[in-house]
Structure 1
Amino acid sequence: MCMSRINFAIIGPGKISHRFVLGVKHSLHAHIIAVGARDDQKAVAYANQYDIVHAGSIEDVLRLPEVDCVYISTPPASHKQLILQSLAAGKHVICEKPMLYHVEDVEEVFAFAKEKGLFLMEGQKGLFLPTIAKMKEWIEQGVLGKVQYIEASYSYRFVSSLDHWVFDPAIGGGGSFDVGGYPLSLVLSLIKKPVVDVHRNQVSMSTGVDGFASLRLQFEGGCIANIQAGIDLPMKNTGRIYGTEGYIFIDDFWKTNTVTYHRYDGTSETFTIEQPSEFTYYIDHSCECIKKGLLESPIHPMSSHRLFTELLNQSPAISST
């Protein structure tokens, strides 16, 4: 496949999509040419804001032959149907997280993408950051010694009416699926061994969703990870990685452009990169995969999507209201 740039259509011009637009602005491989929404007028207003050429219904946008790939940023309950609809229209797909809630749905959409010969990936941005890649490099080089413990948290107070999807347990609301992918992506990026034990605790909200959840993972080889995620508890959101020879403390790990390791012998090293948008990395990665004819990302393949979904779906061992 020979393409200079991948032409994108945005499906669902919601809040998060504005950050995707910024990511594309700083990409050398992507270009947004269309926006589709259930409300045509909303699509037109969005297109006017960003000088996007085409705007209309979702069906209209999917019929455009010049659209190569769609970015889906609608509420999560609609993701599966829109993924299948987009693939059926012959479009590659990037879907905003959380992509899906059930392993069987993950397997179904990836099987359909394979059948159609199209690329499919969840936009889990933390997996693609240069800072995370640098941390992996340090760990593989043994700078921290043997990593024995990781702690990662992303918890905040979501302010909205209770009819928002994030408070609805029937469609996968709650802290785990809303933001749990961020700390989980940090842990699974750094530790590449199988998970051998999982234990979860949560505090439930009045609607039944997890307002705050804690997930404890043990990996083959002994490393333990504790992950916290919530929509009803403000926290200082950090990642902490402890090894036998050193440690890393990293704030805002899902978007940061700088990271430092500290060794117990007093030495340290800092990595910093200019980063106008943390979205650009996974956008560029997806474009490169599409140009190469890949159907899955080597960084976030179907097996990775399955593992994320399985772990975030763990039933709570203790729940209180």
Structure 2
Amino acid sequence: MKKFNWAIMGPGSIADRFAEALMPSQKGILYAVASRDINKAQAFADKYSADGVPNKADGTFHQADGTPPKPYGSYQQMLADPEVDVVYIATPQSLHYEQAKMCLEAGKHVLMEKPLTINAAQTEALIALAQEKQLLLQEGLWSRFMPCFEQVKLWLDEGRIGELQYICSDIGFSFGDREGHRLHNPALGGGALLDLGVYSITLSQCLMQEHPSEINAMSHFGNLQVDENTIVNMRYPSGRCAQFTCTIAAQASNSMTLMGSKGRIVLPYMFWNGNKATLQQEDVQDEVIEFAHRVNGFEYQIEEAMNMIEKNQVCSDFMPHGDSLAVMQTMDEIRRQIGLKFSPDAERM
């Protein structure tokens, strides 16, 4: 069986987690890594092998035949390699549109780190291009692919908490005053909303199974012109509501609670990691389910991407294009209300 040859664009910390999850795959290999800095690409490639054979002495990986993945010092060179099947884009969100467009035009399938782009117009354009080229374009919002959230949806479908009425979540960490950090940089699509709030938006959308019809948002901006603290209320066509806060200036509880007419479901600390869900009903002992990822949680979206390519699908049922677009439309409206603007270069088409 021919394995899928994966390439990585942007060899940073998120790419490390992706590579670790790809190592045990029976269907894919880490074939190449590309960066504008060849030294970064080389250093990353040296850590991993296509077969994932660990060297316990130094924690690196070495390919069985001694050859690491191919390093490329330019994205164009990597995309010109006919052996590359699918590209994982792990760069800042301000670069997502330009780079995904480049990959699709080169005939490569794309798995994109969330969010898909930084505005709805860019997302809509990429979806149209993927459909035209009949190539996979999958937003790698990892929570949507995890067994934990399939279990939560099953509880909801079974009516275990009655009618779902309200979802409340908060997400955030204190990043201090690190001026150089990408989350503090409007040119890179920084701020709490796109990087953290997106989890609350997409999971509320997924679990409500509808898109908000009314949105009210407020925010506090720091000195660096990005949203540090944002609170959002959303009402859906059914009349149900969701509320979330996101912050890059404070330590949040990082939990999500789904409240129904007969009970509730609690997703505890770092709810987006999909490690645990608790079903709570009146006069009934709590039902707790814990999930241990096979690797680190990235494996689900990787396997789904390869399954979709095999089936000649342009998107996944776990994260369909319509959901990615609706999430971006929601974030566009929140940005409009709170006055969050990015650089013209980041917003361009």
- TM bracket (short chain): over 0.9
Aligned twin of 1:105: 122
Distance (Å, rounded) in 1 between the aligned partners of 2:187 and 2:38: 28
Contact 2:4/2:28 (<8 A) preserved: yes
Aligned twin of 1:282: 301
TM-score (normalizing by structure 2): 0.86
Q: Residue type matched to 1:23 in 2? A: A
The reply to whether residue 66 of structure 1 matches residue 92 of structure 2 is no
Contact 1:155/1:232 (<8 A) preserved: yes
By how many angstroms is 1:274 displaced? 2.7
Distance (Å, rounded) in 1 between the aligned partners of 2:129 and 2:18: 25
Contact 1:144/1:247 (<8 A) preserved: yes
Indicate how the Cα distance of structure 1 residues 234 and 269 shifts in structure 2: closer, same or farther if over 3 A, else same. Answer: same
Q: C-alpha offsets along residues 195-238 of structure 1, whole Å, 9 cap, x if unaligned?
A: 22111111111112100111111112222111111111211110
Distance (Å, rounded) in 2 between the aligned partners of 1:29 and 1:183: 31
Distance (Å, rounded) in 1 between the aligned partners of 2:165 and 2:24: 37
Contact 2:138/2:319 (<8 A) preserved: yes
Distance (Å, rounded) in 2 between the aligned partners of 1:317 and 1:67: 42
Q: Residue type matched to 1:305 in 2? A: S
Distance (Å, rounded) in 2 between the aligned partners of 1:46 and 1:239: 35
Distance (Å, rounded) in 2 between the aligned partners of 1:27 and 1:242: 37
Q: C-alpha offsets along residues 18-61 of structure 1, whole Å, 9 cap, x if unaligned?
A: 11112212433322111011011111111011133211122222
Aligned-residue CA RMSD in angstroms? 1.9
Distance (Å, rounded) in 1 between the aligned partners of 2:133 and 2:115: 23
Q: Which of residues 225, 231, 234 is equivalent to 2:251? A: 234
Q: Which of residues 140, 161, 167 is equivalent to 1:144? A: 161
The reply to whether residue 293 of structure 1 matches residue 312 of structure 2 is yes
By how many angstroms is 1:160 displaced? 6.2
Aligned twin of 1:56: 72
Distance (Å, rounded) in 2 between the aligned partners of 1:255 and 1:26: 20
Q: What pairs up with 1:85-96 in 2 under 5 angstroms?
A: 85-96=102-113
Q: Which of residues 324, 330, 343 is equivalent to 1:311? A: 330
TM-score (normalizing by structure 1): 0.93
Q: Which of residues 254, 267, 271 is equivalent to 1:250? A: 267
Q: Which of residues 13, 25, 28 is equivalent to 2:26? A: 28
By how many angstroms is 1:133 displaced? 0.6
Distance (Å, rounded) in 2 between the aligned partners of 1:198 and 1:290: 36
For structure 2, which runs of at least 5 residues remain unmatched after alignment? 50-67, 340-349
Q: C-alpha offsets along residues 283-305 of structure 1, whole Å, 9 cap, x if unaligned?
A: 11111111100012222122111
Q: Residue type matched to 1:172 in 2? A: G
Contact 1:186/1:253 (<8 A) preserved: no
Q: Which of residues 261, 284, 293 is equivalent to 1:266? A: 284
Distance (Å, rounded) in 2 between the aligned partners of 1:8 and 1:317: 39
Distance (Å, rounded) in 2 between the aligned partners of 1:270 and 1:30: 34
Aligned twin of 2:241: 224
Aligned twin of 1:5: 3
Distance (Å, rounded) in 2 between the aligned partners of 1:237 and 1:283: 25
By how many angstroms is 1:268 displaced? 3.0
Contact 2:160/2:263 (<8 A) preserved: yes
Indicate how the Cα distance of structure 1 residues 101 and 317 shifts in structure 2: closer, same or farther if over 3 A, else same. Answer: closer
Q: Using the TM superposition, name which of 270-279 and 101-110 deviates more.
A: 270-279
Identity across matched positions, percent: 29
Aligned with 1:187: secondary structure?
Answer: helix
By how many angstroms is 1:318 displaced? 6.3
Contact 2:38/2:72 (<8 A) preserved: yes
